[in-house]
Amino acid sequence: MARPRLTFLATKTAKWIVGLLLAIPLLLLLNDVRIELFDPGARLGPNPGDILVDRLGTWSIRTLYLTLLVSSISRIFKIPVLVQHRRTCGLFAFTYVVLHFTAYLAAILGFDFNTLLGDFSKRPYIIFGMIALLLLIPLAITSTRGWRKRLKLNWKRLHRLIYLIAVLALIHLWMQERSTYTDTVIYASILVLLLVERIIHALRQRMARSKTSSAPS
């Protein structure tokens, strides 16, 4: 009741705004690709395929980690309504990952699936990325309210896969770092902080529960 402004976050309009914000990088990139098709080299430089895959990869991991951050932030700053936007973030992460992989298939491999199979054995970072993508599919499908109700407690269990996916994405990134590990260190730190926050949260809940149950009757 004390923070009327925050109720805006619960509205449909807020959901649209969050979605739009997360779509901006994609829209900008699509615009670049559109211009590239008419005027090669104008927006993405002489090697647009690599740049496209790279940028989509960057936004994949950003949105993925943002999805994980939402619940922590909502707890730390006591804005529970924020959690309503987690699904939008997650679906955008899924979208970016799918596009990242599609761009790799189209622009790097030219849809040569033999090379893709070769890449699995010769370039292991691709395996980690692929597993992360495959694991995201059930999460995207079951992200609706209907599935949430149907799966009940299992829904929560299933969606814990996101932690595994975050680790896989981190390995996928780390294996490709060449001269500096800055990005890996940044994402690894975020992951550690997230996990610490969740452990503290879980411990607090347990303590609260044990207090109520052991209270004298």
Partner 1 sequence: MVLIKTKKEIPSSEITPEAVYLSRRKFIGQSSAAVAAGALAQSTLALPDSWIEDHGYEPGEEIGEDITPEKHATSYNNFFEFGTDKGDPAKHAHQMTVDPWSLEFKGLVEKPGKLPLEDVIKDIDLEERIYRLRCVEAWSMVIPWLGFPVKKILDKVKPQSDAKYVKFTTLLRASEMPGTKARFSSIEYPYVEGLRLDEANHPLAIFAIGMYGKVLPNQNGAPFRLVVPWKYGFKSIKSIVQIELTRRQPRTTWNLSAPHEYGFYANVNPQVNHPRWSQATERRLPQGIFARSIKTKMFNGYDEVASLYEGLNLKRNF
Residues in the chain: 217
Of residues 87-146, which lie at the interface with partner 1 (CB under 8 A)? 106-107, 110, 115, 118-119, 122-125
Angle at 90 (CA atoms; ends 84, 93), nearest 5 degrees:
150
> Closest approach of Cβ 57 to partner 1, in Å?
14
Q: How far is CA 215 from the centre of its chain?
A: 42
> Closest approach of Cβ 50 to partner 1, in Å?
7
Distance CA(25)–CA(99), nearest Å, equals 12
> Which amino acid makes up residue 48?
P
Complex with partner 1: residue 5 or 178, whichever CB lies closer: 178
> Closest approach of Cβ 110 to partner 1, in Å?
6
- Residue 67: both structure tokens together: 């999805």
Which window, 31-39, 79-87, 88-96, 127-135, contacts partner 1 (CB under 8 A)? 31-39
Which window, 44-52, 89-97, 156-164, 208-216, contacts partner 1 (CB under 8 A)? 44-52
- Contact with partner 1 (CB under 8 A) among 21, 27, 30, 37: 37
Burial class of residue 142 (count of CB atoms within 10 Å of its CB; 0-12, 13-18, 19+): middle
Fill in the DSSP letter of residue 161.
Answer: H
Q: How many CA atoms lie within 13 A of 15 on its CB side?
A: 12
Distance CA(79)–CA(168), nearest Å, equals 29
- Contact with partner 1 (CB under 8 A) among 153, 180, 215, 216: 180
> Closest approach of Cβ 49 to partner 1, in Å?
5
Complex with partner 1: residue 52 or 70, whichever CB lies closer: 52
> Closest approach of Cβ 124 to partner 1, in Å?
7
Number of chain positions touching partner 1 (CB under 8 A): 33
Is the distance from CB of 7 to CB of 81 less than 8 angstroms? yes
> Closest approach of Cβ 169 to partner 1, in Å?
17
Per rule CB under 8 A, is residue 48 in the interface with partner 1? yes
Angle at 165 (CA atoms; ends 143, 21), nearest 5 degrees:
60
Residues of this chain that bind partner 1 (CB under 8 A): 33, 36-37, 40-41, 44-52, 106-107, 110, 115, 118-119, 122-125, 176-182, 184-185
